[in-house]
Amino acid sequence: MNTDVAPVKSKTERKPKPKWLRVKLPTGKKYTELRSLVDKYDLHTICTSGSCPNMGECWSEGTATFMILGNVCTRSCGFCGVKTGRPETVDWDEPEKVARSIKLMQIKHAVVTSVDRDDLKDMGSIIWAETVKAIRRMNPETTLETLIPDFQGNERNIDRIIEVAPEVVSHNMETVRRLTREVRIQAKYDRSLAVLKYLKDNGIRRTKSGIMLGLGEQEEEVIQTLKDLREAGVDVVTIGQYLQPSKKHLPVKQFITPDQFKKYEQIGLELGFRHVESSALVRSSYKAQKHIN
């Protein structure tokens, strides 16, 4: 059992964040330059809209994350701060807009993600493929990671991602098997594993996944999830602390200590992952530029 955590006393009581979750404000010349470009041209990045704690570090290394297919998700996962409901009509000019943003920001490594679009027949996979093509056309030197939804496990939709061959394809497990129904609601643990395995079996050189801790999982469950991901051929894993977006979302049940994160990193490396990013402030795209090598 995992005892190396700082427990939260109740579902309703919010405990102050421990010192290891305190974040320094982003600084530096590169960050300032990119921030001014984002503001001047009204560019949309997950880094800014999600107030990512690693924004300054990633931007200084030439990495940024962009979200496509709108900002309204068809799923209502208990951990996620993205709005849910009926999404707007697909913007077919979006691939060019994202590619242009990457060019303006002179991004070396771009991460692209999206909301779930279960309302669409292709679940958004066509826009996904067109976005990758547009980025490659306008930014031939930029490398890419696509953080994709599960597309309900539909292989034709996944094939569209495989055909455009991003350097890294990521799909997040988010949590352990026991908590999946509570945390992800419409997702399925085994379906996510199958998506990752399908990607690897069909030519994607580098696959990646991420989990968040602090939702009530036990140490042995985290280790089993890491084993399941390795069995599916996943190369890179990110492990971070869950933080409650609002009172309406699932509560934080534990604050995982730095020592415990370090332990999971070591276990992951011993299991054979090429890269393991494991610490409280790690998010899916943290150190993403390292994961292509």
Interval 135-149: pLDDT, tens: 999 999 999 999 999
- Domain carrying residue 111: 5-292
Residues 118-136 have pLDDT tens digits of: 999 999 999 999 999 999 9
Residues 154-192 have pLDDT tens digits of: 999 999 999 999 999 999 999 999 999 999 988 999 999
Q: Rounded to an integer, what distance in angstroms lies between the CA atom of residue 256 and that of residue 280?
A: 7
pLDDT at position 273 is 98
Residues 17-67 have pLDDT tens digits of: 888 777 666 667 776 777 777 777 666 676 665 567 777 677 777 788 888
User: What tokens does 38 get?
Assistant: 């984002």
Is 241 or 50 the better-scoring residue by pLDDT?
241
pLDDT at position 201 is 98
What is the sign of the dihedral through the CA atoms of 223, 291, 53 and 81?
negative
Residues 184-231 have pLDDT tens digits of: 988 999 999 999 999 999 999 999 999 999 999 999 999 999 999 999
pLDDT at position 292 is 85
Cα dihedral angle (146, 152, 156, 159), rounded to 10 degrees? Answer: 20
Write phi, then psi, for 241 (nearest 5 degrees): -85, 130
pLDDT at position 44 is 64
Burial class (CB in 10 A: 0-12, 13-18, 19+), 188: middle
Residues 160/126, Cβ–Cβ less than 8 Å: yes
Within the chain, residue ranges assigned H as helices are 29-41, 46-49, 55-60, 94-105, 125-138, 155-164, 180-184, 189-201, 219-231, 258-271
Q: Indicate if the pLDDT at residue 253 is higher than 50.
A: yes
Count the neighbouring beta carbons within 10 Å of the beta carbon of residue 240.
23
- What is the CATH classification number for the domain harbouring 211? 3.20.20.70
Domain count, the chain: 1
Owner of token pair 């800014």: 48
| Mode of pairing for the β-strands spanning 254-256 and 5-7 | antiparallel
Write phi, then psi, for 16 (nearest 5 degrees): -55, 145
Tell me the pTM.
0.87
